[in-house]
Structure 1
């Protein structure tokens, strides 16, 4: 008897997250329908939905989404690999941290748009510069998350590993890796979010396709519905990819006896 309500609540929780955006959308649709606003600058959801359907029927939407997903996906992988390696080195080796970290922290403060002219000059205006810019955005939170997680590992746990005479690889596999994983997953999600933000700046670099291109095209042609449609698709894709990371990492974190897990299962 208790399994049915728990299963129902498990499916109801994701739907609860849709309550706020749907309420806001219906409220604005009603406001335009009642004539409280003409909906010219901020189009109602029905007009935005019609724009998305029109773009989908013409095949443009698939092409733009595919281009953006390719850039974000490849930039995310490159940024994660570089951030994980350098973050692990800086966290585990104090000399490397003293050498690398000040420079990386200074570079982290540079706005994303400031990299654009430099990457265009170095890598050209095509895909390589766009992917490099996204990788830079992903790199910094992953690097900081990995390094900070290693530095925050409880010293007592490490001492226990030394007492049991664990080798270096065994120490990493059995102690450091489980201790770092929760913070690492968070840094991946933050890095992915920044990757979606940086792709907009990347697609401002002379792109002829992509959701960022849709934003610019809507601005230049005075199509607010197209601009809002691109923003909505960005939000949906960003949430879906974040959810995929969350789902993929659940088996790695089942050992956690955390407060949030208990509250989520209530």
Structure 2
């Protein structure tokens, strides 16, 4: 689970609804003081939200870029139905195309983890709305075996338990995994009320369906590599237990993509090292 340091947006960002041809989506819309050099559309990962990019918004604005971080359908503050067909990868990819159109593209597209795979599907449907494409900690196919087991367990729990009970189970599991000095009466970081509130507002159907996608996603790297001209960028932390870093290195090579490794970050460089990650994105956009 991603852990944004705060849910309070910076002064340069406005929390609002983005109206599109496929409905309204909750966004954080951050703008520079002057005319923007470009606009970025930022998609979060599994169980995440637009707040996962919150610490990057101000440095991106200072670099001259407008950045729009979005809650996808059924994520946190964006409503979603109980119909599983609403969360197929194709449906979510078409949401991304509608978001880019509503923002007034073309845009720099950034997808973190699951958001990267949904973004990839959008690019393969229609690359015209995008100036560049950055895959952040998002690999070529299904997630690692260890993460597959966790996602399967979560999906099974969501199918039979209410969201608040699943949250309690996650907390208990995290407490068992925590170092000994944090187990005796000290709440894990995931116990923050803002994280709990976000979890409870996710649509469980969305989590079940997109979790299944992570388990079966095929390798579509060659398809993406054939999309030209579209500059591509692969960003990750120095460690990643969802897609191993050597796998991400190899994917970047197959794509002919720029490769950036953020030292000191793991699966979420956007929250682990937001300043360095924002600088890497802006440098890539500056050249494209």
Structure 1 or 2, whichever has the larger Rg, is: 1
Report the structure, 1 or 2, having the larger strand content: 2
Higher relative contact order, structure no. (Cα contacts within 8 Å, ≥ 6 residues apart): 1
* TM bracket (short chain): under 0.3
TM-score by length of structure 1 reads 0.25
